[in-house]
């Protein structure tokens, strides 16, 4: 975000990330050129649901499958006022599946990273009730 702010002479406190799922790429992201602005992130996991590549939205989990690979996501810097919240789920991203760890000085989580906006055909409450989250790494 800092590079984007400097490149376009925009105050960094007016920026946020928007998120786009990158379609039709290998699971490891090999051979995909990086974007001009932002970054492609691959290797995360989804807990509580799965990505439906056909419908290009979040879908229900397969029974007995706890974690699925998350598709490649483009973390794209944009101005706060350009961010749109159509039908999406603001999915919390954690470093690990523990979902705990609090700094004594601020009370903020040491494990939480940010919310990733993912397309959904269901209302946000549907995924909240299922405890859906993204993880940077599995605890196993």
State how far the Cα of 16 lies from the Cα of 11, in Å rounded to an integer. 11
Question: End-to-end alpha-carbon separation of the chain, Å?
Answer: 32
16 falls in which pLDDT band (50, 70, 90)?
very high
Pick from 30, 112, 41: nearest CA to 71: 41
Burial string for 85-107 (b: 16+ CB within 10 Å, else e) reads: eeebbebbbbeebeeeeeeeeee
Query: For residue 67, what are the CA distances in angstroms to 7, 10, 51, 109?
Result: 38, 38, 11, 22
Give me the residue spans of the domains in the chain.
2-135
Residue scoring higher pLDDT (130 or 86): 130
Going by DSSP bridges, is the β-strand pair 112-119/39-41 parallel, antiparallel, or unpaired?
A: unpaired
From the candidate CATH numbers 3.90.340.10, 3.40.50.720, 3.30.43.10, 3.10.490.20, the one assigned to the domain spanning 2-135: 3.10.490.20
25 falls in which pLDDT band (50, 70, 90)?
confident
State how far the Cα of 75 lies from the Cα of 22, in Å rounded to an integer. 10
- Residue 45 pLDDT more than 70? yes
Cα 21-41-100 angle, rounded to 5 deg: 105
- Summarize pLDDT for 78-129 with one digit per residue, the tens: 999 998 878 899 999 999 888 776 665 666 677 889 999 999 999 999 999 9
**Mean pLDDT for the stretch of residues 65-85:** 92
Residue scoring higher pLDDT (3 or 103): 3
Cα 128-118-112 angle, rounded to 5 deg: 60
**Mean pLDDT for the stretch of residues 38-42:** 93
Q: Are 70 and 100 in contact (CB under 8 A)?
A: no
């Amino acid at each position: 975000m800092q590079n984007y702010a400097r490149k376009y002479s925009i105050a960094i406190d007016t920026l946020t990330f928007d998120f786009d799922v990158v379609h039709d790429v290998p699971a490891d992201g090999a051979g995909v050129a990086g974007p001009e602005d932002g970054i492609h992130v691959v290797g995360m996991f989804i807990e509580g649901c799965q990505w439906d590549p056909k419908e290009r939205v979040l879908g229900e989990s397969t029974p007995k499958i706890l974690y699925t690979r998350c598709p490649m996501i483009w973390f794209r810097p944009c101005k706060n006022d350009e961010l749109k919240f159509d039908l999406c789920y603001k999915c919390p991203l954690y470093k690990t599946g523990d979902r705990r760890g609090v700094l004594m000085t601020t009370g903020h989580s040491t494990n939480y990273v940010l919310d990733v906006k993912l397309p959904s055909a269901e209302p946000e409450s549907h995924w909240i009730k299922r405890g859906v989250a993204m993880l940077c790494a599995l605890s196993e």
